Amino acid sequence: MDSVLDKKRKSEFYKKKKYEKIMLISAFSVLLTATILSIINDNDIPTVIPFHTTIVPIINGASAFLCLILLFIKENYRLQCLILFIQGICTALTGYEVLGAFLYSAMFLLLFVNNFFTTNAKKKVSILVLIWILTVLSLLPFGFQRFLLEFVISFFFAGFYAYVYKKLEHILSIFIPVKNDSQIIDKLPERGSKIKLEEFGLSERQIKFVKDYLKNKSSYKELSEKYFISTSTVKKDMNDVFTKFNVKNINELYLLLIQFEVE
């Protein structure tokens, strides 16, 4: 049984890597093209970026190089998001408002699917939104039309992703098991609230397992290697966690806990 599950996980892992490489290759191609074009074309659009005819090609080239590095190392979503963060702001400030808003919102999406907002969500979102507001405001001295276009595009992307999130939240709620244990119901706060795992009787090790899985989707084998214990011990601990949360497996636990800010 374990070997079948391991094969399935490996198959899913390689499929994930395949599409990650496709994304990175396409990103590298776009950034390399943008670097070449920014060198050839003398884009003298007004911007707050100093010496932009020199700095923009350097930023694009550096981003392309980072994409190339990501092709040969373990998945690093934070570095991917850093590229989108820099490119989103730089692109928006140099006359490509629509593309800039798209890249910045793509960064938000990538952070979301990698569980970046499972803790301190309001603080993290507020900081990123504030940075984007300052970016949009910096366009105001260079023409009201540029500022207005970026503002309404940003508003559209925010509304669109909020709509998609709510649709996704509704779909995921179908798979959340109905809790028959009244004690669990009493302990669970409203969705989006903070919860402390120790309040549910989890051991320190179990808390580490759960948080590791929420963040990295680590397999039992990876958890056993990371914490220097047997796979059977990990399974025993996790089965105990499932019982305490009244869920059947790790997927149901994940779908339950992503509705909250886990501490």
**pLDDT, one tens digit for every residue, the chain (263 residues):** 444 444 545 555 555 677 888 888 999 999 999 899 888 876 678 888 888 888 989 999 999 999 999 988 888 889 999 999 999 999 999 888 899 999 999 999 888 888 787 677 788 889 999 999 999 999 999 889 989 999 999 999 989 988 887 777 655 554 444 444 545 555 677 777 788 888 888 888 888 888 888 888 888 888 888 888 888 888 898 888 888 888 888 888 888 888 788 87
Instruction: Please give the torsion angle defined by the CA atoms of residues 34, 40, 44 and 47, in that order, rounded to the nearest 10 degrees.
Output: 30
Angle at CA of residue 97, ends 92 and 102, nearest 5° = 85
Give the residue carrying structure tokens 């391991």: 6
DSSP 236-251: HHHHHHHHHHT-SSHH
Angle at CA of residue 244, ends 242 and 247, nearest 5° = 40
Secondary structure percentages of the chain, helix, strand, coil, to 5: 75, 0, 25
Instruction: Please give the torsion angle defined by the CA atoms of residues 14, 20, 23 and 25, in that order, rounded to the nearest 10 degrees.
Output: -80
Predicted local confidence at residue 25, as pLDDT? 92
Spatial contact of 231 and 224, defined as CB atoms under 8 Å apart: yes
Q: Is the pTM of this model over 0.75?
A: no
Between CA 60 and CA 114 the distance in angstroms is: 25
Predicted local confidence at residue 38, as pLDDT? 84
Between CA 263 and CA 16 the distance in angstroms is: 28
DSSP 114-151: TTGGGSSHHHHHHHHHHHHHHHHHTTGGG-HHHHHHHH
- Residue 218's H or E segment, with its range, is none
Backbone angles phi, psi at 86, to 5 degrees: -65, -45
Predicted local confidence at residue 249, as pLDDT? 83
Spatial contact of 93 and 43, defined as CB atoms under 8 Å apart: no
- Residue 261's H or E segment, with its range, is strand 261-262
**Structural domains in the chain?**
10-157 (no CATH), 182-262 (1.10.10.10)
**Mutual orientation of helices 220-227 and 204-216 as an angle, nearest 10°?**
130
